Amino acid sequence: MTKISVEPVVAPSPVRRQGLRLWLTVAAAVVALAAGGFVTFRLTSTMPAPQIKQTLPQTYTIPGAAPVLPWPQAGQATVEIDGLGRVGSSGGSRPVPIASVTKVMTAYLILRDHPLRLDENGPTLTVSAEEAAAYPAQLASGQSVVQVVAGEVLTERQALEALLLPSANNVAHILARWDAGSSDAFVTKMNQAAAQLGMANTKYTDPSGLAATTVSTADDQVTLARVAMQVPVLAQIVAMSKVTLPVVGQVENVNTQLGKDGLVGIKTGFTDEAGGCLLFAADFSAEGQRFRVIGAVLAPGPSPADAFEASRRLIQASTGLLHKYKVVHAGEVVATLRGPTGRSTTLAATGDVDVVGWPGLTYRIDTVGALPGRIAAGTGAGTLKYTALATAATTAVQATDALEPPSWWERITHG
């Protein structure tokens, strides 16, 4: 028969019970402190700002067939509406001689290195004996030059006027020497500037364009023209029909088409190798706004008259391209506004948005805003913007419903 032994249960001693209670008290206190710290952190920490999610696409392209301009049958041409974008081009992208169109880069660099105000003549430069002695031979060779004499003092503005109006080759070299110490050093700067502007198919070998080895494309020259015409003094000078210089007296702009069809510049060019060339800008009105067409024609024919005629046709066609298109109506929902805990409302345009352009032109669409945590219905919550190059059409957007900030419980339960 199996014996079962029963041992008495010994109760914890008063000392052990006291230690257990102390341990449990400490643990509870630690948990309470941790929980309190967590709650305090969540309640006092900054919640993420509401986020805008655009419901419109990222871009808008004006529908329809892209325009076909009256491109010249020969040579190259490019047309751009300033601030909107390129309309098109013809003739490929093979670098070709550009003759005196080169002088736009020369003038741009001079004014970059030695800026002038519209009412300022600037520093002076003195014609050297060597530069004056070269004039008779330059003239005899049929170059476009202005008379200079040793010791003649020209202001920077006068030199730029001689460069850009009568298209003086000799003054291009005088300016290059004044700016960089020599024509070769200046040409290095010209090519550096071309690279910085993204003119990948351009190579300058002289500051005047007489050398047939100075080559570029219509596309590259329009890129330069857009930047150059943002320099107020340069834009002012190329729009002048005549000026008076110290020695030679009054000289006229070789761009005989100034003022016709809104033409405000920029630079003619002609050599046997380059044919007729024109880098042009013309101002016009469309849809109640002012615009500028910028273009280049290179060798549409052998003479300057061919370049003038090709440019005239392109300008006249370009001024009829622009029309207004309604892309957003007032009240249209364009985005969603979502708070950090998932609450959301929609954003609606407060006004219509109209863009100006031509079929095929693309606008980028952005909805942006600096948003508080609490937004009442009808409160402005940002801006809707359609952008093409440097032109923007905008309207404010507002919340269609209220977006309340997170409650205290949501602040605790959402990270």
DSSP 55: -
Q: How far apart are CA 370 and CA 351, in angstroms?
A: 19
DSSP 230: T
Asked whether 249 and 71 are in contact (CB, 8 A), the reply is: no
Structure tokens at 400: 């269609």
Provide the terminal-to-terminal Cα distance of the chain, rounded to the nearest Å.
68
Asked whether 168 and 103 are in contact (CB, 8 A), the reply is: no
Catalytic residue among 89, 90, 144, 167: 167
Q: Which H or E run contains 276?
A: strand 275-286
Cβ neighbour number for residue 128 with a 10 Å cutoff: 16
Catalytic residue among 90, 103, 144, 216: 103
- 53 labelled binding-site residue: no
The rounded Cα 145 to chain-centroid distance in angstroms is: 35
Asked whether 202 and 214 are in contact (CB, 8 A), the reply is: no
- 3-state class of 283 per DSSP? strand
The yes-or-no answer on residue 167 being catalytic is: yes
Q: How far apart are CA 172 and CA 186, in angstroms?
A: 10
Asked whether 331 and 298 are in contact (CB, 8 A), the reply is: no
Q: Which residues contact 37 (CB under 8 A, 6 or more apart)?
A: none
Q: How far apart are CA 331 and CA 333, in angstroms?
A: 6
Q: How far apart are CA 268 and CA 350, in angstroms?
A: 48
Which residue ranges are tagged as binding site for substrate? 267
Query: What residues are annotated to the active site?
Result: 100, 103, 167
Which residue ranges are tagged as binding site? 267
